[in-house]
Each structure stands twice: as C-alpha cells, then as structure tokens.
C-alpha cells in the first residue's frame, strides 16, 4: 500500500512557499487524495465505516501507538460540558499520563495527542510540515515521534492538542505509519458532535492566531 509520499511532500513544500498558489496547492491535495484513498477504502464517515474500519485485524492495537496516527472511537467523560468534540479522532500521541487522585477528584490514565481533525484539510498538511523538524523520524519502522514540549508552541498545534482518557475509548486503535499519513489526514472522516466541522475549524483558526473568543 506504499505511496510516493516523499515526492508529494516535496511538491507541496514548493507550492506552499508561494502564497499565490495556495488554491492550487489545495487542488493538488485533493487530486492526490483521490488517487490514494482508493487504497485504504476510506471515503467519508458513517457508522458502517466506523464499524468496518475498527473491526479490521490489520494494524490494530489495544493501546495507542507512539509515532503513528491512531484512529479510534471516543466518548468524552464530560461531553455535556464540551462545546463540541470529535467522536472519531485521528491522533498522534505526544504524552501519556497516569491516573491521579486529589481528594474527591479523580482522573483516569490516558494520553495527550494531536487530533488533526480539528483543522481543515490544507492546514493539516501545513501542521505536518511544522512537525517534521520538531520530531524524530524513523524510516526503518515508518514512524514520526513527537513530544509535547517540542510542539506545544506551534500555532497550528494549539487547537488540536487534546486529552484522551483510556477508559473512554470505545474501540481498539487502528494505526497508520508514515506512508499513509497524508492519505488519512485528507480523509473526510471527522465526526464532530454538537457543531458542524466548518464551525469547529473556524474556532481552530482563531485559536491558532491567538484569538480565543
């Protein structure tokens, strides 16, 4: 299922250096995605997709995989208090945390991760470009390892960094190596509750530029 991701990334780096070509770059992303998505057979979110996708035995784990994109079903503990949330996150883990207890308040074990679904498609690519010099890429195992201290101050990372509790994960983790990063980032499988994705993405843009209203 290998794709020529490196060549594609080089092309997109050239395009993003010219602001006048941003629309053309987005078109190239869409064209490239359409070619590659047939390999993974992921077209858009549906309950059937979630069921079929997560029941596959391929590249599946019962724990989040560092250095990989992880796809899983999730139900937040405090979903009623959240303005919106993604029920089908696509996450690179960047920090783990253990369960804690502070008087009557308890917090379960989990991890902090970057959920690319909180950005529109072209900005997902731009964030990936920002991550490459910050992370450690291991081509031998097709993984990109990134950690919270190195990425927390990246503007586009700010709206996508989320906490996930292990006991609120509703499925195993389907994970993807570097060769499939771009394909999965371009897949329209985000599944936001409470707000449409365009509203979520508008909020993320504001957070990225420092406007948290």
**Residue ranges of domains in the chain:** 5-207
What's the angle, vertex CA 86, arms to CA 128 and CA 22, rounded to 5? 35
Q: How far apart are CA 166 and CA 160, in angstroms?
A: 18
| Selected residue with higher pLDDT from 55 and 206 | 206
Q: Residue range 12-26: average pLDDT?
A: 49
Q: Encode pLDDT of 172-198 as tens digits.
A: 888 888 877 877 887 888 999 999 999
* pLDDT above 80 for 13: no
* pLDDT above 60 for 44: no
What percent of the chain is predicted at pLDDT more than 70?
Answer: 66
* pLDDT above 80 for 38: no
Q: Residue range 47-68: average pLDDT?
A: 68
* pLDDT above 50 for 19: no
Which residues partner with 144 through β-bridges?
137
Q: For 173, which DSSP code?
A: E
Q: Encode pLDDT of 141-168 as tens digits.
A: 778 899 999 999 999 999 999 999 999 9
Give, to the nearest 10 degrees, the angle between helix 197-208 and helix 121-131: 40
H or E, element range at 102: strand 100-102
**The two structure tokens encoding residue 169:** 């994960």
H or E, element range at 55: helix 47-55
**The two structure tokens encoding residue 122:** 């072209």
Which pLDDT value is given to residue 141? 73
Which pLDDT value is given to residue 136? 86
Q: How far apart are CA 38 and CA 178, in angstroms?
A: 17
| Selected residue with higher pLDDT from 62 and 2 | 62
Phi, psi at residue 81, to the nearest 5°? -90, -15
């Amino acid at each position: 299922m290998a794709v020529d991701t490196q060549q594609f990334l080089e092309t997109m780096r050239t395009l993003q250096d010219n602001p006048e070509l941003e629309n053309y770059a987005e078109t190239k992303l869409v064209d490239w995605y359409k070619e590659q998505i047939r390999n993974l057979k992921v077209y858009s979110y549906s309950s059937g997709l979630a069921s079929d996708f997560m029941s596959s035995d391929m590249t599946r784990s019962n724990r989040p995989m560092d250095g990989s994109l992880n796809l899983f079903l999730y139900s937040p503990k405090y979903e009623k208090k959240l303005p919106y949330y993604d029920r089908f996150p696509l996450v690179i883990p960047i920090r783990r945390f253990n369960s804690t207890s502070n008087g009557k308040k308890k917090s379960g074990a989990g991890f902090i991760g970057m959920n690319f679904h909180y950005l529109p498609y072209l900005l997902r690519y731009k964030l990936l470009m920002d991550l490459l010099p910050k992370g450690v890429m291991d081509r031998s195992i097709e993984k990109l390892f990134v950690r919270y201290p190195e990425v927390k101050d990246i503007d586009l990372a700010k709206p996508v960094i989320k906490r996930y509790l292990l006991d609120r994960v509703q499925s195993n983790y389907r994970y993807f190596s570097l060769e499939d990063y771009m394909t999965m980032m371009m897949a329209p499988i985000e599944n936001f509750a409470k707000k449409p994705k365009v509203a979520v993405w508008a909020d993320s843009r504001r957070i990225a530029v420092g406007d948290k209203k």
